[in-house]
Amino acid sequence: MLRKIWKTPQAVIGLALIVLICAVAVLAPILAPHSPDTVNPLLKYQAPSADYPLGTDQLGRCELSRLLYGARASLGLALPILILLGGIGLILGMMTACTGGWFDRIMTGISQVFIAFPTLIIAVAIIGALGNGLQNIIWAVVISMWARFMQLIRTYAKTELGRDYIIAARVSGCGIWQLIVHHLIPNILLQFLVYFSTGVASAILTVSSFSFLGLGLPSGTAEWGAMLEEARVALYSHPELLIYPGICIFIAAAGFNLFGEALRDILQPQEDVL
């Protein structure tokens, strides 16, 4: 698997971008030339200089420092969201696939209702009802996306349940939980990681959309979507303030998407053989 990843340019580029974004998030306090929250109106809209490599924003804050810390905010929201989604998707998807019957029909019907609506619409409605805040944002995205993860895991599990090794395990007296833990999860884990990788990109874009609409983290937080929203007032006079966070969002989303798509292409021949 690792050899195939290193031999696939798309996977290498995606992985390099992921490592870059993660390194920036971890090393932000060291790399940032200034505090991201330091306000100095006398320095607003400063041109790039040695002290402020990317200039300053409308409040005189260092643009580079806010971009570096913005990686922390974006990944700090996206990763917990994907961990919760992964756990919920695995549990519900496996249970519906293995138990079947009325439970499968009810959960499938509920998930189809959620899938019928755009993710952003559901999440915005939940944020509007619960209000802004870190926990509310996380739960809003989880509630709006859980159905897609559950249906994906259910589809993978249903496919595996028809294979000979599962039939043999059932004949030998293997229980449902043993079947899930020892047979199903190990065999669909790599496929799930593909969707997990692309899901990180979706979570980053969704969180940035909240901030752009004014429904994200508290005002002034160094987060890419919030920086886009704040830069709208200077769209014509200082368009670079929109371009910088936009590029960061693009790089982060592209990295996870490229890596996820490359993993899917690598795994596809194995699926065909099976």
Q: Does any domain span residue 244?
A: no
Q: Does any domain span residue 86?
A: yes
User: Between the CA of residue 228 and those of 3, 63, 216, 221, 254, what are the distances in Å?
Assistant: 39, 12, 12, 12, 18
Q: Does any domain span residue 21?
A: no
Label residue 219 left, alpha or beta by phi (over 0 means left) and psi (-120 to 50 means alpha).
beta
Q: Does any domain span residue 12?
A: no
pLDDT category, 273, cuts 50, 70, 90? very low
Number of structural domains the chain divides into: 1
Q: Does any domain span residue 272?
A: no
Between 217 and 146, whose confidence is greater?
A: 146
Whole-model pTM over 0.85 = no
Label residue 209 left, alpha or beta by phi (over 0 means left) and psi (-120 to 50 means alpha).
alpha
User: Encoding tokens for residue 158?
Assistant: 């249903």
pLDDT of 27: 92
Report d(CA 215, CA 210) in Å as an integer: 5
User: Encoding tokens for residue 115?
Assistant: 């899938």
Q: Does any domain span residue 116?
A: yes
Q: Does any domain span residue 168?
A: yes
Mean pLDDT of 122-142: 82
114-121, long-range: CB < 8 A, 24+ apart? 114/144, 114/146, 114/147, 115/147, 115/148, 115/151, 119/144, 119/145, 119/148, 119/202, 119/206, 120/144, 120/206, 120/209
Report d(CA 252, CA 268) in Å as an integer: 25
pLDDT of 167: 80
Between 209 and 248, whose confidence is greater?
A: 248
Q: Does any domain span residue 46?
A: no
Please answer whether residues 1 and 48 qualify as being in contact, where contact means their C-beta atoms are separated by less than 8 angstroms: no
Statement: residue 30 has pLDDT above 90 = yes
10-14, long-range: CB < 8 A, 24+ apart? 10/258, 10/259, 10/261, 10/262, 10/265, 11/258, 11/259, 11/262, 11/263, 11/266, 13/255, 13/258, 14/254, 14/255, 14/256, 14/257, 14/258, 14/259, 14/260, 14/261, 14/262
Residue 133 belongs to a domain with what CATH number?
Answer: 1.10.3720.10
pLDDT of 62: 92
Which of 124, 116, 114, 110 is closest to 145 using CA atoms?
114
pLDDT of 1: 63
pLDDT of 271: 44
Average model confidence (pLDDT) across the chain: 84
Q: Mind listing the pLDDT tens digit for each residue in 218-236? A: 767 888 888 888 888 888 8
User: Residue 144 belongs to what domain range?
Assistant: 73-239
Please answer whether residues 149 and 89 qualify as being in contact, where contact means their C-beta atoms are separated by less than 8 angstroms: yes
pLDDT of 268: 66
Q: What is the largest CA-CA distance in the chain?
A: 76
Statement: residue 92 has pLDDT above 50 = yes
pLDDT of 20: 92
Burial class (CB in 10 A: 0-12, 13-18, 19+), 49: exposed
Mean pLDDT of 193-203: 78
